[in-house]
Structure 1
Amino acid sequence: MSEPSAAPTAKDPRRWIILAVICVAYLMLTLDVTVMNLALPSAQKALHFSNANKQWVVTAYALSYGSLLLFCGRLADLIGRRQTFFVGLVGFAAASAVGGAANSFGMLVTARACQGVFAALLAPTSLSLLATTFTDPKERGKAFGAFGAVAASGGGLGLMIGGALTSGLNWRWCMYVNLIFAAFPLIVGLRLLPYEPRRKARMDVPGVLMVSSGLFCLVYGFSNAGKHDWGSTSTWGFLVAGAVLVLMFAIWQGRAKNPLLPPRVVLDRNRGGAYLTALVVGTGMFGVFLFLIYYMQTDLGYSAFQSGVALLPLVAVTAVSANVGNIRLMPRVGPRPLVPAGMLINAVGMVLLTRIKPDSHYASTILVPVMVIGLGMGLIFAAALNTGTTGIQPQDAGVASATFNSGQQLGGAIGTALLNTIAASATTHYMTSHATGKPGPELAHLAVIHGYTTVFWWCAGIFVAGAVIGAVLLRSGPLPVPARPSAKPAAEPEKAHS
């Protein structure tokens, strides 16, 4: 096997194969967010663990992944993206194999926690590799269009694949399938991904401890609120501790000699807007990927596989929209029109979903809203992923990518807690306000549907707020073309954006 060159040139055809390597690896991660959720009932039955413990199969992954993203993103900047990419890829596949072979609850949860650790390495490294490989504006649009389609639609594909594997084989294949996805990027990437020298800068250890602990507390606190109660000590105690630690981290970053997350990365208006966009989308999309699935499976009687297939129009429209947005629109208008437009389109899709009834039909009630949401998601990801890594120096690409991923992860935790609470409260209120005697199954059914529609209204409001944030923070006009290193000092692109 020949040693790869230092980096593919602008005309080197290898860069498109590298794009395929990155997209397949990232697809594996996005699929895993939803594919295991469908396997949980079967895994619970096979390994004999309780409903109370079931949440830990999901939470163990979320905690390790969310808390280590910034550390792993900076690690990629320091020791090299190629190295961290393959450690993350091989480690994630190995942890998946262990999880698939699990013969106890403890073994499965440990494997899921290890998956989260290696996902925290692989996710920001994939995005930073994309940002540093494609620097030409036209090619960057095509590359981010493909990557954005994967990032936005992987959850829907995961539902379909998870349903098919669980129904046709067994739950263990929801873990084993990652070995298949890892094979291509491992075999091809070993030959093509460029080597990078280690940087001499030191790791910001106090920063790592503060932000990792803070994000751990926030993710755990929100996860606990979604499963139990906002008033419990284990909820608000962790949330307060997380907020304090993250604030301490922000203050420390302005004083540290080698900050984990240099302030210049997040204080740029465009990048800051992109990271907040990721947070909003992570929060709002929970309404689609959880409550709409609940409705289709519990009210319409869909199987897990049928639910995944029902979301294929969302996946298809997202892919087309992301590519059109990045290739045709971003070079002309920049992110400011696209993000607010995508948010408002998503809000319209959520409002359309509030029309669901106990006897609704897919074609008349669900198909159009999911296609509308797919259009909005494609525009958002087309703009946000590209913008979040634009103007970044190569030595900061990993931590900038990790900041985007952290926004998504924290948004998902907030969405889990907030929307579950809203749904439960709306359902209870409907039951008490409409009951004329002992509540019957028909009233309970209507109350649950009311809970879903209330969540969709809230999601619409979240996306409207996201549109306002995008319109205020993002700058007008196309993204600036990166300057050649020989033409300007390294710090100048940062000043130009501030």
Structure 2
Amino acid sequence: MSPPAPLATSPEAPTAAAQRRPGLVLAVVCLCQLMVVLDITVVNVALPSIRDDLGFASADLQWVVNAYTLTFGGLLLLGGRIADLFGRRKAVLLGLSIFAITSLAAGLAQDPGQLIAARAIQGIAGAVLLPVSLTIITTTFPEGPERRRALGIWSMVAGFGSASGVLLGGALTQALSWPWVFFVNLPIAALAIPLALVAVRDLPRRRPRLDLLGAVLVTAATSLLVYAVVRTDRYSWGSAHTLGLLGLSVLFGLAFVYVEARVAREPLVRLGLFRQRSLAVAGTLIFFIALGQFGAFYLASLYLQNVLGYTPLQAGLSFVPFSIGTVAGTMVGMRVAAARGPFWPLVGGLALTAIGIGWFATIDVDGGFVGNLLGPSIVASVGLGACFVTATMVGTSGVDPAEAGLASGVLNAARQIGGSIGLAILVTIADSTTRHHSGPPLVALNAGYARGFLVAGCLLALALAVCVVLAPRRSAVE
């Protein structure tokens, strides 16, 4: 791959004013990142309280999570492209505003329908915010040490927010009530919106037309894929329902590729972008990392509460070492990538992650935090921090700033879709193991979670194998 042109020569290069405010710009994107990743995990421990208060049927409660997941995962590519088409400043302000309004609506919901609708719209806002936050980094900070530091901080916020969301959700639900897991977004937005108005700027440029047909097709393809996956809790992977939805997703995807290649005058996605090896490799690695990591995180929360009997707050506190380990791993990954290139932090980080997640499979009904969780949490979190930040650096290296939003959408879509598929696989395996276990209910439940962790470790070992084959040997992050 030829070396990218310096950002300063690009028509999308940051203005001098923007360069004088890098700290404020970084604060905005980190607040956007924090809001989105918190919302993915903070809700989980509040679900029993939401069910009791709003009268959710057991089968419908999952839609508090699925409604968000469906729109968020389905619209990430379009959300990333919106920042390129209409400007980073408008995109971030729109995303923050909608996220704040729908968070308020979710907390004030009086029945299941209102909450599910608010969560669906919240997912749309998240699909804009997450890619635009990464886009702003790649178009504000030039490649090299400045961008590495910014991406490192952004990744640390992601890891910390994901893990601390469980703690925060438990504390808010136990000390106040479940609506506060949504109201917590309001002060974040109140701080981020004024900062965005001051710090985020776009240079005047020609705005290309939105490829509406392409937008509809790619949204339909990704939404159907995510929907088919999240509904495997009810319909088996081999059922006509699941296979039919997956088939439709493939058809819409093929139609999208045809439209972008042959029909659209100004395509939503320039397909040549995927010939850029750094982006293709990073997207593939992030997909495989998420395949094992998302579901393992979910199973750990269930094990703590359903087997060990932890309260929501106790369960949240148990994830503090994971947060600390993720931050430490991110810092190590950045330094090693800068000194020796991306290969070793990717391979080493994935090896640690696979070992740590596989180690979780030793959980026991009579276990405890120190004996069953502390060691694997530290190992897995350090590895995850190192490999995730390095994959993100590789994926954003050399991307034309005019397509930074699309590239960000690709990376985030890979993570969300991989995570959704992995979660569905692990939940299916855990439930099946529990149902067919002959022991007492608690022992059967523990056996299901242990089997899920073992499979998650195998999926991450698969990610390691893919990484060894694909990861660049020479530096792509300098």
| TM-score when normalising by structure 1 | 0.90
Once the two structures are superposed, the pairs formed by residues 88-487 of structure 1 within 5 Å of their partners are: 88-255=95-262, 256-326=264-334, 328-431=335-438, 443-479=440-476
**How much does 1:134 deviate?**
1.0
SS of 2:72's partner is helix
Identity %: 36
- Find the aligned partners of 1:428 and 1:314 in 2 and give their Cα distance: 30
Secondary structure in structure 1 of the residue aligned to 2:184: helix
Query: Please, which moves more after superposition, 177-186 or 239-248?
Result: 239-248
Residue of structure 1 equivalent to 2:32: 25
What does residue 70 of structure 1 align with? 77
Structure 1: runs of 5+ lacking an equivalent: 1-5, 432-441, 482-498
Deviation at 1:113, TM superposition (A): 0.8
Q: CA deviation at 1:340?
A: 2.1
Deviation string, structure 1 residues 365-394 (Cα, Å, up to 9, x no partner): 210100101111111122111111111111
8 A Cα contact 1:224 1:234, kept in partner:
no
Cα distance between partner residues in 1 of 2:160 and 2:415: 14
CA-based RMSD: 1.9
In structure 1, the partner of 2:9 is none
Return the letter of the residue paired with 1:303: T
**Distance between the aligned counterparts of 1:170 and 1:198, measured in 2?**
47
Query: How far is the alpha carbon of 1:444 from its aligned partner?
Result: 2.5
Distance 1:446 1:130, change over 3 A: same
How many residue pairs end up in the alignment? 466
Where 1:254 maps in the other structure, the secondary structure is helix
Contact 1:61 1:114 in 2 (8 A): yes
> 2: CA distance between counterparts of 1:123 and 1:370?
26
How far apart, CA to CA, are the structure 1 residues paired with 2:349 and 2:378?
12
Q: Which residue of 1 aligns with 2:7?
A: none
- Structure 2: gaps (5+ residues): 1-12
Is 1:166–1:174's contact at 8 Å kept on the other side of the alignment? Answer: yes
What is the distance in 2 between the residues matched to 1:400 and 1:294? 34
Please say if residues 132 and 397 of structure 1, whose CA atoms lie closer than 8 Å, have aligned partners that are also in contact.
yes
Q: Are positions 1:47 and 2:54 aligned together? A: yes
Amino acid at match of 2:329: S
- Counterparts of 1:384 and 1:454, CA distance in 2: 28
Q: Distance in 2 between matches of 1:417 and 1:101?
A: 30
Higher alpha-carbon deviation: 359-368 or 282-291: 282-291
| In structure 2, distance between residues paired with 1:224 and 1:447 | 24
Measure, in 2, the Cα distance between the counterparts of 1:331 and 1:47: 51
CA distance in 1, matches of 2:23, 2:468: 33
Shift of 1:48: 1.3
**Would the aligned equivalents of 1:79 and 1:197 in 2 still touch at CA under 8 Å?**
no
Moved more, 248-257 or 49-58: 248-257
Letter of the structure 1 residue corresponding to residue 277 of structure 2? R
Aligned partner of residue 362 in structure 2, secondary structure:
coil
Tell me the CA shift for residue 11 of structure 1: 9.7
Q: Say whether the 8 Å CA contact 1:155–1:289 is kept in structure 2.
A: no
Query: Shift of the alpha carbon at 1:331?
Result: 1.7
**What SS is found at the alignment partner of 1:337?**
helix
Contact residue 18 and residue 201 of structure 2 kept, 8 A: no
CA contact (8 A) 1:334 1:383 kept: no
Instruction: Give the letter aligned to residue 318 of structure 2.
Output: A
Separation in 1 of the partners of 2:158 and 2:249? 27
Worse overlay, 218-227 or 13-22? 13-22
User: In the TM superposition, what is the alpha-carbon distance from 1:9 to its structure 2 partner?
Assistant: 4.1
Match of 2:63?
Answer: 56
Amino acid of the residue matched to residue 465 of structure 1? L
Q: Quick check: 2:338–2:477 contact (8 Å CA) kept in 1?
A: no
Stretch of structure 1 that moved more, 461-470 or 228-237:
228-237
Q: Is the 8 A contact 2:143 2:397 kept in 1?
A: no
